[in-house]
Structure 1
Amino acid sequence: MSKPRSLALPPRTRAYRLSTARGDFAVLDTAPPAGTRPHGTALLLPGYTGSKEDFLALLGPLSEAGYRAVAVDGRGQHETPGPRGRAAYRRKALALDAVAQAAALGDGPVHLLGHSFGGLVARAAAALAPDAFVSLTLLSSGPGRVARPQRIRVRALRGALALLPKERVWQATRWLDSRGEEPDAADPPELVRFLRRRWMRTRIAQLAGAGRLLLADPDGTTALSGLPLPLHIAYGDEEMVWPVADLAAAAARTGAHHTVVAGAGHSPNVSHPAELAAGLAAFWDAVPELVSAGARAAGASTGPAGAARSRPAGTGGGPRGRAGTG
């Protein structure tokens, strides 16, 4: 879970329900400043037990870089309603939601970013409908399995949700997050109220389904390599949910653009938004060139009748460092 440091909406941000072919989704939609040449639109998918507010600190820097940034609550998350049934939270259903959200934004193919569990959904959406997206970014999200301590934590949470009232699970989670200190002691009251409200509004079926997918997710590195999209793998050098070595290896194997944010943990979108935004904008700004190079390479290797791939092999080795561009 990401924990926003402030709940204030960035300038030029609208909170509304995005109507799609698969229902309405609560979003935060931040536009670039007036007079700025728009560079594109990014759709941001939050992680496990999270919500669109996890991107609040990132929306402003992305908009200042010329991008319309739209963060969304997935079905059953926070302010987006969701059914109770298990089938509604299967991988394909969530991927179809992301495809519908991209279409409803009305800006053509969009840059897709998934944070943590949102990366699993983003991978599935890109594989299902690659034409809906112009690029794919996995933020603090690997194509491999999560680290063992996190698997244990997810299993414990799913077990508690099956046995205990949701309020009891919330209190236990708060105590664990405080590392044994008095619950809520370090957080301002308005943030505690928000975190509790988000937890209570999120469907148990969504929490159980997302946890199940996290635990069962197979290594998707090979599938990522076959996607016809420019790929970006980004994370903090203090990431703890996915092993950093595995993320670096996946970036090398897939030829992905690769950004490591120095000093950041699992949520660079909260802790290092300016540095992360710089890395994202550098990648997104380069996407037209990557697509063009991929088409030329595919044409050279397959001839006029061959299908052009949008992402050439060997686009890795991209920006690294504290600012994401060093």
Structure 2
Amino acid sequence: MSTPRFLTLPPGVSVKQIETPLGSFAALEALPVNGVAERWPALLVPGYTGSKEDFLAILQPLAQAGRRVVAIDMRGQYETPGPDDPAAYTCAALGADVAAVAEVVGQGEPVHLLGHSFGGLVTRETVLKGSAKLASFTLMSSGPGAIVGPRERLGRELLAELPEHGIDYIWANRLEPDAINAGVPEEIIAFLRKRLLANNPTGLVAMAHEVLSAPDRVDELARCGLDILVLYGEHDDGWPPELQAEMARRLDAECVVIPGAVHSPAVEAPETTAHALTRFWNTAEARMIQRG
């Protein structure tokens, strides 16, 4: 889990509900100071056990470039409810949700789509389905397929423990002690507990299965025709940095490594991350307009 930089909303950021034919999604929205969005909007999708708050530190800087920026909780995450049906939490089903949200956020304009970690696997399905009007695609700290390394081991352990012990047990006996040992402030630990326990239990299990078994679809994605950015921390402990770099080569995508960051660049290096995203989005936007 990542730790949001702020527990209160920065100026210019507000709470929203995005109403779609597939349901209502909790969101945070940032607008330029003057309230006028002159550039195409962006939609940010969090990872497994994450939420819209993982993007708090970059929402305002991204909006100041002249665009509306929206971050959501996916179905079953934190403040977006979800059903007790595992089929609702496949990457394909969640990707359809994202497409529906993108249509509302875009209001007829193309949308810059970003997926963080597991959110990258979900948003990849949105791109491949081709049902959303997109301006660009960013994979942040995500990979070509199922997660590997230390986070894979943690995921399999959680998957084994969740059905038997429940999420309260996992929080009290694994995640909270880890946060305390890492020196996470008490108020943020309280938020992380509240967020985790708000997740739909069926969704947590089903999403874990998805992130641990996702196929490599990079070759398909390479044919999507969008400008793609692969962005990750130099010390990423999710998908290894070298694997993400290789994915960028296979995609013929721009690749940005965020110095000092681990698995959550938007939290760990917000200024650098926001600058990289704004530059990429502005360039992709100009190219798309030029192509007509």
Bucket of the pairwise TM-score, normalised by the shorter protein: over 0.9
The letter for the 1-side match of 2:68 is R
Q: Which has the larger radius of gyration?
A: 1
Query: Cα gap change, 1:78/1:12 in structure 2, threshold over 3 Å: closer, same or farther?
Result: same
Query: Cα gap change, 1:170/1:219 in structure 2, threshold over 3 Å: closer, same or farther?
Result: same
Aligned residue runs from structure 1 range 118-197, under 5 A: 118-129=119-130, 131-175=132-176, 177-178=178-179, 183=180, 186-197=183-194
The alignment partner of 2:24 has SS state of strand
Once superposed, what is the RMSD of the aligned Cα atoms? 1.8
Percent identity (aligned): 40
Segments of 5+ residues of structure 1 without an aligned counterpart are 297-326
Higher relative contact order (CA 8 A, sep 6+): 2
Aligned residue runs from structure 1 range 198-237, under 5 A: 198-237=195-234
* Deviation sequence 1:45-75 (CA, Å, 0-9, x none): 0001110000000101101222211010000
The letter for the 1-side match of 2:235 is E
Equivalent pairs, count = 291
Tell me, in whole angstroms, the C-alpha distance in 2 between the residues paired with 1:35 and 1:210.
Answer: 36
Tell me, in whole angstroms, the C-alpha distance in 2 between the residues paired with 1:206 and 1:218.
Answer: 19
Aligned twin of 2:281: 284
Q: CA deviation at 1:284?
A: 0.5
The letter for the 2-side match of 1:125 is T
Which range moved further: 137-146 or 116-125? 137-146
The alignment partner of 1:232 has SS state of strand
The alignment partner of 1:76 has SS state of coil
What is the TM-score with the length of structure 2 in the denominator? 0.94
Tell me, in whole angstroms, the C-alpha distance in 2 between the residues paired with 1:263 and 1:107.
Answer: 38
Query: Cα gap change, 1:185/1:223 in structure 2, threshold over 3 Å: closer, same or farther?
Result: closer
Segments of 5+ residues of structure 2 without an aligned counterpart are none
Tell me, in whole angstroms, the C-alpha distance in 2 between the residues paired with 1:97 and 1:76.
Answer: 12
Query: Cα gap change, 1:37/1:198 in structure 2, threshold over 3 Å: closer, same or farther?
Result: closer
CA contact (8 A) 2:113 2:138 kept: yes
The alignment partner of 1:19 has SS state of strand
Aligned residue runs from structure 1 range 1-326, under 5 A: 1-34=1-34, 38-105=38-105, 106=107, 108-129=109-130, 131-175=132-176, 177-178=178-179, 183=180, 186-291=183-288, 295=291
Q: CA deviation at 1:210?
A: 1.2
* Deviation sequence 1:272-309 (CA, Å, 0-9, x none): 1110111111111111343367x59xxxxxxxxxxxxx
